Amino acid sequence: MNTLQQLLLTPDATAEMIRSGATLAIAGDEDVLAALPDGNWIGGTIPYFMSQDGGVTTRDKLFVTPLSFHPDLKPTIRHYDAASLSQVCMEAPANGFSLIILPAFSEVHFEYAQHASMYEEMFMKPLVGWISGIHLDDMGKRSPKVRDGRSGALQENQAVVIHVPLPDNVSAQVSIVNLFTQGDGDLIEFDSSGFEASTCRVNGEVTSLAKYLTSIKHDTRLPLVADYSGAMINVSLKAVDAAKDNVQFYGPVFPHVAYRLAKPFTGSYEAAFGHAIEDLPEKAGFSCNCVLNYLYSELEGKRTGHVTGPMTFGEVAYVLLNQTVVHLTLETY
């Protein structure tokens, strides 16, 4: 099956695709996303992209992922709140995949992070997507949003999904690139869940997390990592404020989970990231990358091989991820 190309486009070119009836996933800054015409698309806010020409930060263009792969198999669009989100896989096609966008730091983001692994039919049907965000200069001024393109309203607390059916001889394959594993340092646990924390337990002792990270001179590019039966799940550090005794995360932490700080890699972040994506398949039906990989690898103006897509506040490959690359390919057999 031919894979449709993901592209960074002008608003006019994007609007033309929408009016043609194409089914699309679209990423862009809030103002340009809100101005698009209604149609068969879903979208989320973010101004950071890996385009066909390299990494770029722009409030004026949109990253477009076409999702119409077969003329006789029509994708369907749904939106979910926190109460209905558990139905997402049950409504997915028997053969195909689903693409989900959730707004960062919202109730649906937290619900998904906490419970997605327990949703009925999860891991039986391919599910990928991303967490919408904002320009980092807009922190405290704007909130991440999504849009069901069939109506004009931007939403702060809804997830939007496109369910994409595929022919019987085509399957969707999901790949994940994660630079990180657990290091050999202290065991870190939390007594409550959330996107921020003041205290934690370090080797069982109640400790200020911010002061602990400051005292060990932790490189905040390295996330907390939990080992879920061999699957490494990162929780990226958003801000460490020792004066306010507060640490903020890009994904929530949870009680009864054993975290350790990520093992440092040798060499530069950019070199480690470039090496990690070398073996990804060339043609993608969808891909996305964490905004932290973009910033820490200094990817502005640089290309990441053949990997393109929005740079996000979190990634979805079945469950919620941080500081990863998610890549979906379509295989014909």
Instruction: Kindly report, residue by residue over 94-128, the tens digit of the pLDDT.
Output: 999 999 999 999 999 999 999 999 999 999 999 99
Q: What pLDDT band is residue 135 in, cutting at 50, 70 and 90?
A: very high
DSSP label of 267? S
For position 189, what pLDDT does the model report? 98
In the chain, what percentage of residues exceed pLDDT 90?
Answer: 82
User: In the chain, where are the structural domains located?
Assistant: 7-177+270-332, 188-261
Q: Are strands 170-178 and 96-103 parallel, antiparallel or unpaired?
A: unpaired
Band (pLDDT 50/70/90 cuts) for residue 316 is very high
323's tokens: 């500081």
User: CA–CA separation, 236 vs 249, rounded Å?
Assistant: 6
* Residue 211 pLDDT level (bands cut at 50, 70, 90): very high
Choice between 58 and 70, residue whose per-residue pLDDT is larger: 58
Q: Dihedral, CA atoms, 262, 237, 27, 165, nearest 10 degrees?
A: 50
pLDDT at 230: 84
Q: Worst-scoring range by mean pLDDT, 3-7, 39-43, 72-76, 104-108?
A: 3-7
Average pLDDT along the chain:
93
Residue 1 clears pLDDT 60, i.e. is over it: no
Structural contact between residues 79 and 120, judged by C-beta atoms closer than 8 angstroms:
no
Nearest to 182 by CA among 129, 222, 142, 140: 222
Nearest Cα to Cα of residue 281 among 39, 48, 3, 11: 3
Q: What is the arithmetic mean of pLDDT over 259-267?
A: 92
For residue 142, what pLDDT band results from cuts at 50, 70 and 90? very high
- List the 54-57 sheet strands across, edge first: 54-57, 48-51, 309-312, 286-290, 324-332, 170-178
The residue ranking higher by pLDDT, 99 or 52, is: 99
Tokens, residue 208: 């200020």
Q: Which residue has the higher pLDDT, 275 or 101?
A: 101
C-alpha dist (Å) from residue 14 to 11, 25, 64, 77, 152: 5, 11, 7, 18, 15
The length of the chain in residues reads: 333
Residue 60: both structure tokens together = 């004026």
Contact 144, 104 (CB under 8 A): yes
Of the ranges 155-164, 183-192, 290-299, which one carries the lowest mean pLDDT score? 290-299
Q: How many CB atoms lie within 10 A of CB 43?
A: 27
Residue range 297-310: average pLDDT? 87
- SS3 at position 214: helix
Cα dihedral 28, 290, 221, 182, rounded to 10, equals 160
CA angle 250, 277, 239 (to 5 degrees): 20
326 pLDDT above the threshold of 90: yes
